Amino acid sequence: MKSFSVTLTVLLVISLTSLLALRLHAQEGGVEVTVGNLPRVGVSISGGEATQVVSNDLRRTGMMTPVGGGTGEYLASGEASESGLTGRLTRGGSEIFNQTFSGSPRGAAHEFADAITKAITGLPGFSSSKIAFVSSATGSKELYLADIDGYNARAYTHDHVISASPSLNHDATKLVYASYKSGYLDIYLVDLTSNSRTRIVFFPGINSGPSFSPDGSQIAMTLSKDGNPEIYTMSLGGGTPVRITRTRGSETSPSWSPTGDRLVYSSDDHGSPQLFISSSSGVSEMDHLVTGNSFCTKPDWSPDGKLIAFTARVAGQFQIGVYDVASRNGHLVTTAGGQDPAWTCDSRHLVYSNDGRLYLLDTVTGHSLPIDVGLGGCGEPTVSR
Amino acid sequence: MNKKCLAPLLIALTFALAACDEDKGHYTDLGGDNGTMPQSDNLNPDSSGIPPSPRPDVSPDSADYQTLASDTVYFAFDSSTIPAAERGKLQQVADWFKANPGHGLFLAGHADKRGTPEYNRALGERRALSVREYLVGLGLPASALFTNSYGADRPAVQGDTEEAYAKNRRVEIGVIVQK
């Protein structure tokens, strides 16, 4: 009886805490999503594990609550098979959409979840996105790919050298990253559909931190070939790199604006690393972003162009910060630590690492969920959009 | 300059001239663009910006890092400036180089783990470039000095103490073993 009382007490405390929890408002695409008042979506899909996959995906957005078949204001139903899924979303009996998704069972379920997310919240869904990251689980830092829910994690490299700073293109068909495979730090282009890899940048000095432009035709990167680590862009079709920065400091981690006309990067030209924006077409004025933090690295520009996520070092610990481009203000969005943020396609969630593990952060609510890839020593994530 | 110095210098010069004719690989001369080299050391006798040299055919991993291990240069936190107390080591490296002609040197830059990975890679490279610039100022040919950076990925000492961090903020000097 004693353990029953203890359990009851714990449950009561949890319930009370939940009821007293601070209510956070967010206006997203015309649909108000308040924590504690999320749209309830009944999920009932025949065949396989699609119900579970879709339910988990919806829950992970933090913007909807999946419930059993008949009790939600929305109903997501359908039939799943080995080759795909036919799914319907209805509300109060009227149909919102009816669509067929082809692919693997999990893949098709993720795409259905994305369509549901878009229809209900107005935001693009990230459930079918891929991530790439490095992990030192095997003793050397190798490159891995996975689904954004942590499933299907697999090693791409087995080089037994250090792989670093991967960047996925928009639809996860290509990846660029840096590797010491030659003994030197060079940049490689991976074609994920043909599973081929080519060394594309190998100037004297370091070649590092490559980042795909939004249209996938160029990369930005750090090269020290002219005597100092600076930012350059280069067309993937070949040609001479275009220099973007010329300072006495080091510049690293360029990230493109969504229209491709500007780059945000970190530079320590002022003493400690700070964020700057420059034109992507040549050496120009550097616009210093005052975030309120003395150490800012690894910026990532959100797909909607409004926010720049970054890593701040605060009292010796790394935290994720978000800078609002229009209002020119920054604030921290983690308290328990985090680094190397990478936005998902919805410009609200991002993937980051902390102490060797990957997490999905909802920057509106501040909630983090672990992305369990089954490996330790993980870092430098990138997300397809 | 007496006759004793002349022979090694001539050999070094020959080495330098030969290196200029090497296949430069994927390297584009931007024609007059020297870049801007940070002032890594206020007392550096020669502070011109120096682009890295075309790579030698050997991997940095095959260099001999033992011979000049005692001349590993250590740096202050977040800094690529060569501390005054470390400069004597680089004079020793210069002396060794002149006494042992025909070798190139790898300058391998490292950082402690308190920066993010990409920042650490650039910091390690800046440290290596600082050492290279200083050695050029001491008379070594730039074409015999090659830089590489490992960021925080190859610590000399594991651990989270100030002592461990201090031992990892370094540039190691590797002798290229000619085959």
- Give the model confidence (pLDDT) of A191-207 as tens digits: 999 999 999 999 999 99
Confidence of residue A69 (pLDDT cuts 50, 70, 90): low
Taking contacts as CB-CB distances below 8 angstroms, the residues of chain A near B36 are 227-228, 246-248
Q: What spatial distance separates the first Cα and last Cα of chain B, rounded to whole Å?
A: 32
Confidence of residue A31 (pLDDT cuts 50, 70, 90): very low
d(CA B100, CA B177): 12
By CA distance, what is A227's nearest residue in B?
Answer: B51
Q: Which of B65, B80, B119 has the most A C-beta neighbours within 10 Å, making it the best mutation to test the interface with A?
A: B119
Residue A3 phi, psi (nearest 5): -70, -30
Q: Which of B62, B97, B67, B99 is nearest to B179 (CA)?
A: B62
d(CA A21, CA A284): 48
Query: Would the CB atoms of A252 and B121 count as touching at under 8 Å?
Result: yes
Domains in chain B: ranges and CATH? 60-179 (3.30.1330.60)
Q: What percent of chain A has pLDDT above 70?
A: 90
Taking contacts as CB-CB distances below 8 angstroms, the residues of chain A near B33 are 226, 243
> Which of A14-23, A166-175, B16-25 has the lowest average pLDDT?
B16-25
Rounded to a whole number of angstroms, the distance from the CA of A318 to the nearest CA of chain B is 8
Comparing B51 with A158, which gets the higher pLDDT?
A158
Contact call for residues A211 and A254 (beta carbons, < 8 A): yes
Taking contacts as CB-CB distances below 8 angstroms, the residues of chain A near B59 are 182-184
The pLDDT value recorded for residue B38 is 34
Torsion of CA A248, A324, A309, A311, to 10 degrees: 60
Instruction: Give this prediction's pTM.
Output: 0.84
Cα–Cα distances in Å, from B105 out to A49, B131, B154, B172? 59, 11, 19, 10
Query: Would the CB atoms of B118 and A316 count as touching at under 8 Å?
Result: no
Query: Would the CB atoms of B121 and A311 count as touching at under 8 Å?
Result: no
Q: What is the ipTM of this complex?
A: 0.86
Tell me the mean pLDDT in the region A153-177. Answer: 96
Sign of CA dihedral A242, A244, A248, A254: negative
The pLDDT value recorded for residue B101 is 87
Query: Would the CB atoms of A227 and B121 count as touching at under 8 Å?
Result: no
Tell me the mean pLDDT in the region A109-117. Answer: 98
Comparing A263 with B7, which gets the higher pLDDT?
A263
Rounded to a whole number of angstroms, the distance from the CA of B28 to the nearest CA of chain A is 7
Distance of CA B28 to the CA centre of its chain: 22
Question: Does residue A25 carry a pLDDT above 50?
Answer: no
The pLDDT value recorded for residue A7 is 62
Sign of CA dihedral B86, B92, B98, B104: negative
Tell me the mean pLDDT in the region A18-35. Answer: 44
Question: Does residue A68 carry a pLDDT above 90?
Answer: no
Query: Would the CB atoms of B52 and A241 count as touching at under 8 Å?
Result: no
Q: Residues of B near A (CB-CB distance < 8 A)?
A: 25-28, 30, 33-39, 49-55, 58-62, 78, 114-119, 121-123, 125-126, 129, 146-151, 153
Question: Mapping DSSP to helix (H, G, I), strand (E, B) and coil, where does residue A46 land?
Answer: strand
Taking contacts as CB-CB distances below 8 angstroms, the residues of chain B near A298 are 116, 118-119
The chain-wide mean pLDDT, for chain A, equals 92
The pLDDT value recorded for residue A12 is 57
The pLDDT value recorded for residue B179 is 55
Q: DSSP secondary structure string, A253-295?
A: EEEE-TTSSEEEEEE-TTSS-EEEEEETTSS---EEE--S-S-
Confidence of residue A66 (pLDDT cuts 50, 70, 90): very high
In this structure, the number of other CB atoms found within 10 A of the CB of residue B142 comes to 17
Q: What percent of chain A has pLDDT above 90?
A: 86
Domains in chain A: ranges and CATH? 22-121 (3.30.160), 130-383 (2.120.10.30)
The pLDDT value recorded for residue A11 is 59
By CA distance, what is A341's nearest residue in B?
Answer: B116
* Of the partner residues B38, B59, B118, the one whose CB lies closest to the CB of residue A228: B38
Taking contacts as CB-CB distances below 8 angstroms, the residues of chain B near A184 are 55, 59-60, 148
Q: Which pairs with CB-CB distance under 8 Å and at least 24 residues apart come from A308-317?
A: A308/A255, A308/A264, A308/A275, A309/A333, A309/A341, A309/A342, A309/A343, A309/A350, A309/A363, A310/A266, A310/A275, A310/A341, A311/A338, A311/A339, A311/A340, A311/A341, A311/B116, A313/B114, A313/B115, A316/B114
Q: Which of B164, B169, B137, B163 is nearest to B151 (CA)?
A: B169
Question: Does residue A356 carry a pLDDT above 70?
Answer: yes
d(CA A85, CA A289): 46
Query: Would the CB atoms of A206 and B49 count as touching at under 8 Å?
Result: no
Contact call for residues A275 and A269 (beta carbons, < 8 A): no
Query: Would the CB atoms of B118 and A209 count as touching at under 8 Å?
Result: yes
Query: Would the CB atoms of B117 and A379 count as touching at under 8 Å?
Result: yes
3-state secondary structure A93-152: CEEEEEEEEECCHHHHHHHHHHHHHHHHHCCCCCCCCEEEEEECCCCCCEEEEEECCCCC
Helices B3-20 and B87-99, axial angle in degrees (round to 10): 90
The amino acid at residue A306 is K
3-state secondary structure A200-244: EECCCCCEEEEEECCCCCEEEEEECCCCCCEEEEEECCCCCCEEC
Contact call for residues A176 and A219 (beta carbons, < 8 A): yes
Average pLDDT for runs of 10 along chain B of length 179: 54 48 34 31 40 87 95 96 96 96 94 95 97 96 95 95 96 87
The pLDDT value recorded for residue A29 is 42
By CA distance, what is A241's nearest residue in B?
Answer: B28
Contact call for residues A158 and A141 (beta carbons, < 8 A): no
Tell me the mean pLDDT in the region A320-328. Answer: 98
Question: Does residue A3 carry a pLDDT above 90?
Answer: no
Please tell me what DSSP assigns to residue B82.
P
The pLDDT value recorded for residue B8 is 56
In this structure, the number of other CB atoms found within 10 A of the CB of residue A362 comes to 21
Query: Would the CB atoms of A185 and B121 count as touching at under 8 Å?
Result: yes
Residue A63 phi, psi (nearest 5): -120, -5
* Of the partner residues A206, A228, A380, the one whose CB lies closest to the CB of residue B37: A228
Helices A50-61 and A105-121, axial angle in degrees (round to 10): 40
The amino acid at residue A214 is P
Q: Which two structure tokens, joined as six digits, stand for A301? A: 């520009």
* Of the partner residues A201, A205, A251, the one whose CB lies closest to the CB of residue B147: A205
Query: What is the phi-psi region of residue A288: left when phi exceeds 0, alpha when psi lies from -120 to 50, beta otherwise?
Result: beta
Taking contacts as CB-CB distances below 8 angstroms, the residues of chain A near B34 are 226-227
